[in-house]
Homo-oligomer: A and B are copies of this chain.
Amino acid sequence: MPELRKDPVVGRWVIISTERGRRPSDFPVEPVRPRGGNCVFCPGNEAKTPPEILANRPPDSAPNAPGWSLRVVPNKFPALRIEGELEPSGEGLYDRMNGVGAHEVVIETPHHSASLASLSADTVAEVLLAYRERMVDLKKDPRFEYILVFKNHGGPAGASLEHPHSQLIATPIIPIMVTEELTGSAQYYEMKERCVWCDILRQERRSRRRIIAEANGFVALSPFAPRFPFETWILPTRHRSAFEETGIDELRGLAELLGDFLRRMDRVLNSPPFNFMLHTAPLRDGPLEHFHWHLEIIPKLTNVAGYEWGSGFFINPVPPEDATAALRAGGE
């Protein structure tokens, strides 16, 4: 029997469509395997990107030259532009604003054919640290209200380059999905005086029905009402609203769990394309009792179609309990 389930944070219902119940092998994907070659993100081609904003490189190496282990550069085709003041304006009943923002690319490694799943935990920790460093720096710009870090891995997940990279976009506006999480979690807090994600963690760690893996103060779990098959969240077990306040040791612990999860996903789902998105508190909010940062990971296995676009109601053919069991079994 299919089931309707409600996300306890944003109140979004999903349809868990067991009639269409599917196993991992029912989602044939073209595995993401870099064809290699020499790309604009490869060492030696530093001049083909805008000048680097941040790089991990030996002290004696020149900027924008080989020798680095990680680079952050402005996106060459940015969705938003860094220059200019905010200028809200109207057109009759409509509102617009000039597109001020930052759009940066984190080149995660010099190795074209690597991936976050194959890199060492130390290297993944370097990537997470770069996210933190860029967030701390961009936070100083008073025009920005929010920074979203995300990754598109593989063409069907929206990546136009195969060299391992992630991106961040800083905007003068808090994105609607974050607002929905903030509103929902504030309502919950008002009622219970507890963080809803802390409550989720407590319940899931007790029942263990949807816990995929847990280590070093982080949990990877299947949410109760996932929009997508094998959607997974990684959360710190200790309450914290802002990702950028995570300590270096904690980031190392997160890097281990993230790598472990991505290798599970590669084994169970045949190296699928995927996206991940970091949900953290808005830049100006200070520590929040009701918000809990988390990383959302969604393998790209299905096409979103008319019903979802028209309703916001997602039809998910894989119960999260089945996804959990498969991903648990896919451990090393």
Contacts and interface: CB of A to CB of B under 8 A. Distances in A.
Interface of A: 1-6, 8, 11-13, 15-17, 19-20, 77-81, 84, 91-99, 148, 150-152, 155-159, 167, 169, 171-173, 175-178, 180, 196, 199-200, 203, 207, 224-225, 275-279, 296, 298, 303-307, 309-313, 315
Given A177-B311, A177-B312, A277-B310, A97 B3 contact: yes
B15 A99 contact: yes
B99 A307 contact: no
A3 B98 contact: yes
A204 to B, nearest CB: 9
B95 A158 contact: no
Contacts of A84: 1
B311 A20 contact: no
Given A4-B173, A178-B311, A310-B148, A77 B20 contact: yes
B8 A307 contact: no
A211 to B, nearest CB: 14
Contact of A151 (B200, B275, B306): B306
A332 B16 CA distance: 44
Count of chain copies: 2
B312 A176 contact: yes
A81 B199 contact: no
Contacts of A225: 94
B15 A313 contact: no
Contact of A203 (B12, B20, B81, B93): B93
A2 B96 contact: no
12 contacts: A2-B78, A2-B79, A20-B79, A93-B196, A150-B309, A152-B305, A157-B306, A171-B313, A173-B313, A175-B313, A276-B306, A296-B310
Secondary structure type dominating chain A contacts? mixed
B156 A303 contact: yes
A21 to B, nearest CB: 11
A272 to B, nearest CB: 14
- 9 smallest A-B Cβ distances: which pairs? A158-B305, A277-B310, A2-B99, A175-B311, A150-B306, A275-B306, A177-B312, A176-B312, A6-B95
A309 B298 contact: yes
Given A19-B81, A177-B310, 8 more contacts: A2-B80, A6-B95, A8-B95, A20-B77, A148-B313, A171-B313, A175-B312, A276-B306
A98 B4 contact: yes
B176 A11 contact: yes
